A and B are shown apart, each in its own frame.
Chain A
Amino acid sequence: MRFVDEFRDAEKARALSAKITSLCEPGRHYKFMEVCGGHTHTIYKHGLEDYLPESITLVHGPGCPVCVIPMGRIDDAIHIARQPGVLMTSFGDMMRVPGSGGNFFDSNAEGTNIRMVYSPLDSLKIARQNPDLRVVFMAIGFETTTPSTAMTLLRAAAEGIENFSVFGNHVTIIPAIKAILDSPDLRLDGFIGPGHVSTVIGCRPYEFIARDYGKPVVVAGFEPLDILQSIYLLMVQLSEKRSEVENQYSRVVPWNGNIVALKAINEVMELRPYFEWRGLGFITHSAMAVREKYAAFDAERIFEIPGLRVADPKACQCGEVLKGVLKPWECKVFGTACTPETPIGTCMVSPEGACAAYYNFGRFSRQRVREASRA
């Protein structure tokens, strides 16, 4: 096996693998969802599925914020960028996400000014230095980036920077997990909980999964051994017929999260009644909008947003991949019409997208994984 030599803790991984295998009930098949795109990346990069018995399948979840943004929001952003005097900013990951008429680079070729920034604070600085421009930050991400947007908006308000606004697209992970649990398409046995999101929200928000759905959750770190250790902890819970929330990543994730961050988010933003997710459709209370108190900094109130729904290209099956119903290579255009160079769907754009991660790292063990998923 090609991957075994590649990572330094292969010995420990094999030991964990043996412990995991010993807990498998004969004839039972287990499906665990890793919610976070960072975990998907580690799994493919290190070929972790090769360390698992064939009766365990890892299902990739919706935890890649770039992947779940519907095409219509890209079109809306480009519409804002076309308004007079607007300079739009966003994270680099967003630049190549296709809207219905092309991505941000294509839009810039037609005259818009959309720039990539590392931090919302960079966007605020551009606004401060260019008072004649209307600087809009296209905010995106789960709870790892939401506090940064909130803190930046608070700073803009404190400094009275009137030419800065936020086009809010922050999504929240819990309603997406609930939508997947309520979906009849997929039966899961447990969750590998996201690491960095949990540094903000803590572990308590996952308790309903264990309590109401009877599924164990283990919040996990990003190293290969973290993930194998978390799968082991999930298997121990199942073998003991327990369903609890455990924190494997306690060296970084506090049980109660980051209170300062949660307060900042709550000060500036509120839950939207609903938000459209690519592949998952409209999910109630699943995204954040800027509160009316900060309307002067809310691009959705400053500009008229078309808000059109745009259907995904017919060939693209990102929706099924995001729900965990399809594996990346089962999509009809994977690796042929859709590659990281010419992505059709969002899952191939972001490095944390399941398709891009699999395309870049996973193809070598494809046959083995395919066999495992059929078992």
Chain B
Amino acid sequence: MCLGIPGEIIEISEDRPDLAKVSVSGVKRLINIGLLEDDPPKPGEWILIHVGFALSKIDEAEAAAALDFLESIGKAYEDEMAALLESQID
């Protein structure tokens, strides 16, 4: 739950500007982007996700580095990804 997972914004929901379809390790999930309303991310931009919410915008290089780090820590990341893939927030 403490892990920040990088994701790429695919599209913003038309009726819910605080929700975005995000690609996380190739899997598409809805993520809440309400905490970034002062500077909302656009499709193609990257975010760091904590428990279903985008907490910060990051650039692509940082996203790749963050993913490297997560993959290096093994099981904790696998558990977090498994939980995220179960998640169906809206």
Check if A252 sits within 8 Å of B48, measured CB to CB: yes
Cα–Cα distance between A122 and B53 once the two chains are bound (Å): 12
Cα–Cα distance between A140 and B50 once the two chains are bound (Å): 13
Check if A41 sits within 8 Å of B73, measured CB to CB: yes
Cα–Cα distance between A274 and B35 once the two chains are bound (Å): 28
On whether A148 and B53 interact (CB within 8 A), knowing A119-B89, A264-B35, A351-B76, the answer reads yes
Check if B87 sits within 8 Å of A151, measured CB to CB: no
User: Which of under 10, 10 to 19, 20 to 34, or 35 or more describes the interface residues of A?
Assistant: 35 or more
Check if B90 sits within 8 Å of A125, measured CB to CB: yes
CB-CB contacts of A145-159 with B at 8 A, as 1s and 0s? 101100100000000
Check if A125 sits within 8 Å of B88, measured CB to CB: yes
Task: Give the size of the chain B interface in residues (CB under 8 angstroms).
Answer: 37
Contact of A38 among B3, B59, B83 (CB under 8 A): B3
Compute the total of residue contacts between A and B using a CB distance below 8 Å. Answer: 118
Cα–Cα distance between A42 and B1 once the two chains are bound (Å): 16
On whether A118 and B84 interact (CB within 8 A), knowing A141-B1, A148-B50, A251-B62, the answer reads yes
Residues of B within 8 A of A93 (CB): 1
Check if B2 sits within 8 Å of A122, measured CB to CB: no
On whether A65 and B2 interact (CB within 8 A), knowing A118-B84, A147-B53, A199-B55, the answer reads yes
Instruction: Please report A residues at the B interface, Cβ cutoff 8 Å.
Output: 7, 37-38, 41-42, 45-46, 64-65, 91-93, 116-122, 125, 140-142, 144-145, 147-148, 151, 196, 199-200, 222-223, 251-254, 258-261, 264, 351-352
Instruction: Please report B residues at the A interface, Cβ cutoff 8 Å.
Output: 1-4, 32, 34-38, 48, 50-53, 55-56, 58-59, 62, 65-66, 68-69, 72-73, 75-76, 79-80, 83-84, 86-90
